[in-house]
Every structure is written in structure tokens, then in C-alpha cells.
Amino acid sequence: MTADNKAEQDNNVDLIQFLDDQVWCDSLTISEVKTFLEFTQLVSCQSNEIIAEIGEVGEALYLVISGEVALYRDTNNSNDVGRIKEGEIMGEMSFFDRRPRSVRLEAVKKTQLLKLSRSMYQRLRVEHPYIALNLLEHAVVSLDHLFRRASHDMSTFANYLYALGRK
């Protein structure tokens, strides 16, 4: 076995273990986790590398394996509106609704992602619907968490403004 083959095999073992530890994979077998990996591509990003740009229609969704990704509402990167961390999914909104992205996705530091392209997701849905359903449920939960965080932030901000107006 060559050094490259050994490194690739070790990396696959690490990815399988990482995915097996994720909540959305709880009901998947190791064989199903390995199958899911066959439909994805490992992507490495450097610090400050743009992963997806505002206005693009998402042709892929991503799972953060390591590192961190910032979400920016403008191209100036003045203030991030959120962070996506290890184990979280990103890009699912534009991926599923096929509307232009409203935020830029940018690596904060060296980051590894699993990329699932639209064509591979469509194959996964047909060939392995149980795996695809687990991923889809994870995307729904991810969007729910995003909505709840945004609602909490808006509520906190409104309470702050209301309190200022009462003085």
C-alpha cells in the first residue's frame, strides 16, 4: 500500500467515525455512512476562502467536518450574521429552494467540508432513500435552529429598543 493510499484510508476512517458520531447518523449503519461518503466530496478551504457567494444558486450543500464558516450579508465582510461550526450543515436553504444565496459563506480558518452536489443528492434520493431522508431531516432541524436563533436575536433586540424608548 502506498503512502497516499494509506493516508486516504486513514482519512476515510476518520470521516466515518466523525459522521457516525453525528445525531443525524444515529439510525444509520456504518455501511450506510460509508455509502453516504461515496456520494460526497471532501473539500479543504483555507482561512478567508469564499465557499459560496451572495446571489449564487446553491448547487451543493455542505457539512462542516472541521473548522468554522462565517456568514456575511455583504461583500465587505463588515459583520458576520452567523457562524457554522463542526457538525453543522450549511447551504441548505438555497440548495433546496433554488433561490439565490442571501449570504456569503467564508472559511474563518482552515476548514474541511463534505460537499454534496445536487446531482449526487438526486442519485442518493433514488438509490438510498433512507440515507437521503435522514439528511433531509437534518436540514430541516438545521433551518429550525437558524429560525429560532434569529427569532431570539430579534426579540432581544426589540426588547432592548423598547426599553430605550421608555426612558
Structure confidence at residue 32 (pLDDT):
93
Q: Which of 130, 101, 100 is nearest to 31 (CA)?
A: 130
- What lies within 8 Å, CB to CB, of 49 at 6+ separation is 106, 107, 111
Tens-digit pLDDT profile for residues 58-104: 999 999 999 999 999 887 777 788 888 998 889 888 898 999 998 89
Find the domain containing 9 and state its range: 3-165
Q: 135: domain CATH number?
A: 2.60.120.10
Number of domains in the chain: 1
Supply the pTM of this predicted model: 0.77
CA 75 to centroid of chain Cα atoms: 20
